[in-house]
Structure 1
Amino acid sequence: MTESTESGERAYRAALIGEQGVVASMVQITAIDDDEACKKAKALVDGHAVDLWEGLRFIDHFPTVDPTN
């Protein structure tokens, strides 16, 4: 079941993944759809990877950017 706000936005979670591959923290994201949620989650990539979830549904993985490349 998908949770939504009064404005129709859906609730997502972004898992910030640390260097050892473990979840360092979680960030709540609200968005109208998966595309908007992906844009918001991708913007969180800053020295760590991000996994985007809606409830138990995995949406996408955004790897960390290697500054040496």
Structure 2
Amino acid sequence: MHVPSGQAAADDSDGTHPDRFVRALTPTCEAAARGDLEARSCLDPAMDTVPELPTLHDAPNRTLDVSGAFAR
């Protein structure tokens, strides 16, 4: 991981590093961009330690739920 000068690398010892979160969510977003309204992402339970991540994670899934319902 590249860390800009003057910044410390984030500690990923608890498995909640933002890069890991982004890598887990990216395939769902890419599938949705291709038109797959059935794509969903599952949150790694370790991410629950950062309160904002479950909310951010659920947003694309909710968007796909609403879009899928509208399309049907």
Q: Normalising by the residue count of structure 2, what TM-score does the alignment of the two structures yield? A: 0.29
Which has the larger share of strand? Answer: 1
Q: Normalising by the residue count of structure 1, what TM-score does the alignment of the two structures yield? A: 0.30
Which has the larger share of helix? Answer: 2
